[in-house]
Chains A and B, each alone.
Chain A
Amino acid sequence: MRNRVLGGRAASQDKRSSIAAAFGGGQDQTAKRRMSEKQRARDLAYRVWVQCGQNFSETERKLKRDCELPVTRQTLMAWAEKYGWKGRAARTEAEMQNQQTAIMEGALVAALARQKERYEKYFDELGVGKIDNQACYAFCGLVKTMISVKRQPGLQPESALQGGAEDPKTEVHAKVISGDEERVSAIEGLIDLWLGKVLADPEKVNAGLFREIRGALAIIEEIRGKAAAWSESAEKIVEASTAAEAPQPGDALQGGAEEQKRVIIAGPEDAKAALWEAFSRMIAAMLANPEKIKVSEIERAQAYLAKMTEAAAPQAEEEAGSLEQKESSLDPYELVPKKGPDGQELDPGLRRGDGLIQEIDHPEEAEVLTDIGLWTEEEAISALQDFVGKQLALMRKESGAAKASQVKVVKEAMELIEELRKKTKPADDGQKKKGLSTEMAEELREKLLRGENT
């Protein structure tokens, strides 16, 4: 049986070889094998030649020594001439260069950014009421990838593919935002992200979405305008501080002048820096964890930015005024100590001395600063007490002219103080607070309410 099988195999092999011989295939195969050997030797010679920096003598030596391929220099030159080695090497180098360029992170992000612009153009030119869901999905994926690529120091393909659900703990504060333009672009990115998030869910695509998109675009425009206003007010501050640094002829008290200079320069500048820092932290944290972004947070960031801009404008105006006027005007801080524990006169802008606490124009501002973690509850209480003191002093000065709105604001501030005190009560037991005491606040409240009724 086995012999029969073997015999069968031998017969079939003979048959195949006879067929190949009939067509002259056997000779061809041998010739092909020889050709491939020659070709392989040439390829090897070419690679060694490239490795040796296209030096024929060096290539000849290396081939003989390492590869045991005895090829003369003349043969190598002939091969190079015949097969265009120089052109081949140049092409390979150019291709490698292209690949290197293509893999660069910057080039990738730039390409994606260009594509994003194309999509934006497409969406702009899409008819009113028409929605291209497929393009929306693709656009959403593109934006998600761009954000994850920008945020990561090295490219991570898997997270880029999946849209990135990274650990927020490791990503918070990964991006440092500095400069007005960067802040504005960060907010724009945030709104882009929100749009992407909304568009990713087909159930949310309805007529109301267009209203929201319009609102988002309005926010961007507003932020841009406010950033410009902020820059202008910052320039005013710088100008005012430069003017204050120059010696004043009527300034008799040199120490007093130093204090005044500190009021003008240190207060708003430092407060501004702290506010910007807090704002940047907030935006960075939101960008680091895009899954948890809510529209309300974006609105809050925008309101916060608006508050900072509003706060800067009156300060700049105030600083542009004369110093004498400031001296003669009523001190709004008469209810809080003017001197610190070391006996030195305190800067009203930095009354607490231990942190960058600026004066507030509205109780809500203290609440916002506490919410975002820039102020502690204690600091917010102190600032609010200052605010109440200032308001009451103004109301006393203009007796009988107190407005209902002022009273309302003071009431709000006092309620907020109480609320914050309740929060911090266990920790603050036994500590004496600066500014208004509880009894005094109660007394003032009674007086205020009585005044309001009459």
Chain B
Amino acid sequence: MVFDEFANARHNMIRRHILTVVAKSYPRPVDSELLRATLATLGYPMEAHALEFYVSYLQEKECLKVETKMAYGITLITITARGIDAMDGRLRDCGIEC
């Protein structure tokens, strides 16, 4: 039980970090690889598919906008106004630690 709580808190923290990193370049996008590298430097190293998991979650919550160029393996991630609201604590309904 304790471990589940810990894992949940970690997930929330990662999602919060994702929003913080992407918000720095608002309204411009951030490359997914750059985001992954930045998260690693912040102490959250993860594989590309793990990042995809978090990004997809936030995309469904309409906190992020994702543009993919499949042929080139490029993913551009932009934060939305809703994402900024969630990060700043004006929205409470998302799974991030606000």
Q: Is B34 an interface residue (CB 8 A)?
A: yes
Query: In whole angstroms, how far apart are the Cα atoms of A156 and B46 in the complex?
Result: 18
Q: Is B5 an interface residue (CB 8 A)?
A: no
- Return the contact of B45 from the options A103, A122, A157 (Cβ within 8 A): A103
A selection of 24 A-B contacts at a CB cut-off of 8 Å is: A39-B1, A40-B1, A40-B2, A99-B46, A103-B40, A103-B41, A108-B37, A112-B34, A115-B33, A115-B74, A119-B74, A121-B72, A122-B72, A134-B29, A134-B76, A137-B28, A138-B29, A138-B31, A142-B33, A145-B34, A156-B41, A157-B38, A160-B38, A161-B38
Q: What are the residues of chain B within 8 A of A160 when measuring CB–CB?
A: 37-38, 41
Query: In whole angstroms, how far apart are the Cα atoms of A103 and B44 in the complex?
Result: 8
Evaluate whether A122 and B3 lie within 8 angstroms (CB atoms) in the complex, with A98-B47, A142-B31, A160-B38 already known.
Answer: no
**Cβ of A197 to closest chain B Cβ, rounded Å:** 15
- A111 and B31 contact, CB distance less than 8 A: no
Main secondary structure of the interface of A (DSSP, over half): helix
Interface size on A, residues (CB 8 A): 33
Q: Is A139 an interface residue (CB 8 A)?
A: yes
Query: In whole angstroms, how far apart are the Cα atoms of A403 and B35 in the complex?
Result: 64
A-contacting residues of B (Cβ < 8 Å)?
Answer: 1-3, 21, 24-25, 28-31, 33-34, 36-38, 40-42, 45-47, 67, 69, 72-74, 76, 78
- A137 and B29 contact, CB distance less than 8 A: yes
**Cβ of A297 to closest chain B Cβ, rounded Å:** 27
Query: In whole angstroms, how far apart are the Cα atoms of A103 and B42 in the complex?
Result: 10
Q: What are the residues of chain A within 8 A of B29 when measuring CB–CB?
A: 134, 137-138
Query: In whole angstroms, how far apart are the Cα atoms of A156 and B40 in the complex?
Result: 11
- A118 and B42 contact, CB distance less than 8 A: no
B-contacting residues of A (Cβ < 8 Å)?
Answer: 36, 39-40, 43, 98-100, 102-103, 108, 111-112, 114-115, 118-119, 121-122, 134-135, 137-139, 141-142, 145, 149, 155-157, 160-162
- B47 and A134 contact, CB distance less than 8 A: no
**Cβ of B64 to closest chain A Cβ, rounded Å:** 14
- B34 and A141 contact, CB distance less than 8 A: yes
**Cβ of B72 to closest chain A Cβ, rounded Å:** 4
Query: In whole angstroms, how far apart are the Cα atoms of A39 and B3 in the complex?
Result: 11
Residue of A nearest to B33 (CB): A115
Evaluate whether A108 and B67 lie within 8 angstroms (CB atoms) in the complex, with A115-B31, A138-B31, A141-B25 already known.
Answer: no
Query: In whole angstroms, how far apart are the Cα atoms of A335 and B72 in the complex?
Result: 67
Q: What are the residues of chain B within 8 A of A156 when measuring CB–CB?
A: 41
